[in-house]
Amino acid sequence: MPTLESTDKIAPKSILRHRPIEDVAGQPSTRSSDSQAGIPTPVPRASRPSGEVVAMQQEVDATPNGSPREDRRMNETTAGQGRNVKNTATRRIPYVDLSPTRVTRVQGALRRPLRQKQRAFLLVPAARRPFWFYLLIGMVSTLVLWMLLSTAAGWVSTWLDDLHYGRPRTFQTDAMVGHNEQSGQPSHFIAINLHRRIEIIEFPGGDASQAKIFMGPELYNANDELVPVELRFVDVNNDRKPDMIVLYQHQHLVYINDGKSFRPALPAEQDGIEQALHRLG
């Protein structure tokens, strides 16, 4: 039976049978007897660090210097994990202010970016805008309204002329002028604006075989081909014969009736013609 070399150091009782915690020399046991007895050697439990610890460890690795606040936070988190986290290096993490950004208000409105300064004048209260601003707005509005009304009036006038005179502008009428009208049939007249040239065609007594053409004035503006032409028959020289008056563009042209046909008025007859037209209005 073996005997102890020293009696002053006796190994304490172990929880496991025949498994001393310390050897007789006071050093940790190699547990060779346990291995030989078939008892497995206990291995420390491995645990994964939490997500917060991993994130803070990444910040520590990426930051050379840190702040005392983050250092304390890292130590507290690591200490809370207990024995599961080992050999975790701690570094100083710079303090970052994560407080919400302040919004400065001036007269109840948010500060506007520099790119919106060109619109600041339109946002000024109406009481502070100068007088010339309203004057300019009124002039521009009046000009635009006048242009729109002029365009609309011209379009309506052209549309009405198309209904009355067609294209090319044509006017027809019958009148008793004393030319081949023995049968009581009035003469037929056609006034036409053909390519800016006014022409009058007369059918004496309605007989087309005796038709006569009177060449009127020529118009030169680009839109004059749409000018309507009208005819009136009035005695302007007091000879009891109706004379022919051509009306166009607020102008008139008088042809004198000589009993057989019409001729242009002579210069000596112009004064009497003007007086007669003035009386007729």
- Convert the pLDDT of each residue in 51-65 to its tens digit: 666 677 776 666 555
Residue 215 per-residue DSSP state = E
Q: What is the pLDDT of residues 184-213, one digit of tens each?
A: 999 999 999 999 999 999 999 999 999 999
Beta strand ranges found along the chain (DSSP E): 105-106, 109-110, 169-175, 187-194, 197-203, 212-218, 230-234, 243-248, 251-257, 262-264
Is the pLDDT confidence value at 108 over 50?
A: no
Task: Please give the pLDDT value at position 280.
Answer: 82
- The answer to whether position 14 is within a domain reads no
Query: Is 170 found in the same domain as 156?
Result: no
Q: Is 210 a domain residue?
A: yes
Residue 196's pLDDT is what?
95
- Residue 269 predicted with pLDDT over 80: yes
Q: Is residue 266 part of a domain?
A: yes
Are residues 207 and 154 located together in one domain of the fold?
A: no
User: Residue 124 falls within a domain, yes or no?
Assistant: no
Q: Which of 233, 230, 240 lies closest to 255, judged by CA?
A: 233
- 5 found inside a domain: no
Residues 170 and 266 in one domain: yes
Question: Does 112 score more than 90 pLDDT?
Answer: no
Residue 150 in domain: yes
* Residue 45 falls inside a structural domain: no
Residue 167 has pLDDT above 60, yes or no: yes
Bridge partners of 254? 245
pLDDT at 254: 95
Q: Which residues pair with 198 in a beta bridge?
A: 193
Residues 73 and 135 in one domain: no
pLDDT at 84 over 70: no
* CATH value at residue 264: 2.40.128
Task: Check whether 107 has a pLDDT greater than 90.
Answer: no
pTM over the 0.85 mark? no
Whether 153 is in a domain gets the answer yes
210 and 276 belong to one structural domain: yes
| Number of domains making up the chain | 3
212 and 262 belong to one structural domain: yes
Q: To 10 degrees, the CA torsion angle through 217, 221, 226, 227?
A: -50
SS3 category, 64: coil
Does 258 score more than 80 pLDDT? yes
Domain span including residue 56: 51-84
**Is omega for the bond preceding 168 within 30 degrees of 0, making it cis?**
yes
Q: Kindly state whether residues 237 and 274 are assigned to the same domain.
A: yes
My answer on whether 178 and 275 are in the same domain is: yes
